[in-house]
């Protein structure tokens, strides 16, 4: 890898912030640069970093909510209402949690209220 994903993300965010080119053009330029340096194998990490930088620059946080089962739409809306408008919230169904949910903020803060976590804690020697 020629450059780390956060370097690409910061450069992309700087181009967007200047406002001299459209977002679409900036994205095309990012693709060209990543291809030129042979870092296309790191696309997933680059995209995650770009998303993180853009959300943070807007004053938000990346919030990932993992639930054991599909929940009613009303519950999802109430969950969304507990976060700021600037926050980028993603929802995922992870049956391996058994029951409950897990919330991860900026890949740094984790609230694990899943049954799987409670079972792991209870039966860890």
Which region, left, alpha or beta, applies to residue 106 given φ > 0 means left and ψ of -120 to 50 means alpha?
left
Return the pLDDT at 10.
93
Average pLDDT over residues 10-31: 90
Instruction: Give the pLDDT of residue 73.
Output: 85
Question: Quick check: helix, strand or coil at residue 93?
Answer: strand
Nearest to 23 by CA among 63, 50, 52: 50
pLDDT tens column, 102-119: 999 998 899 998 888 888
The reported pTM is: 0.72
Q: Place 124 in a pLDDT band, splitting at 50, 70 and 90.
A: confident
**How many residues can be counted in the chain?**
125
């Amino acid at each position: 890898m020629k450059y780390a994903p956060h370097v690409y993300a910061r450069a992309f965010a700087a181009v967007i912030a200047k406002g001299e080119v459209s977002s679409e053009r900036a994205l095309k330029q990012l693709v060209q640069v990543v291809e030129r340096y042979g870092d296309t194998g790191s696309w997933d990490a680059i995209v995650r970093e770009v998303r993180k930088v853009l959300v943070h620059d807007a004053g938000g946080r990346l919030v990932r909510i993992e639930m054991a089962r599909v929940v009613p739409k009303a519950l999802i809306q109430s969950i969304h209402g507990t976060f700021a408008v600037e926050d980028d919230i993603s929802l995922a169904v992870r049956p391996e949690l058994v029951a409950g949910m897990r919330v991860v903020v900026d890949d740094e803060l984790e609230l694990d209220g899943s049954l799987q976590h409670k079972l792991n804690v209870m039966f860890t020697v």
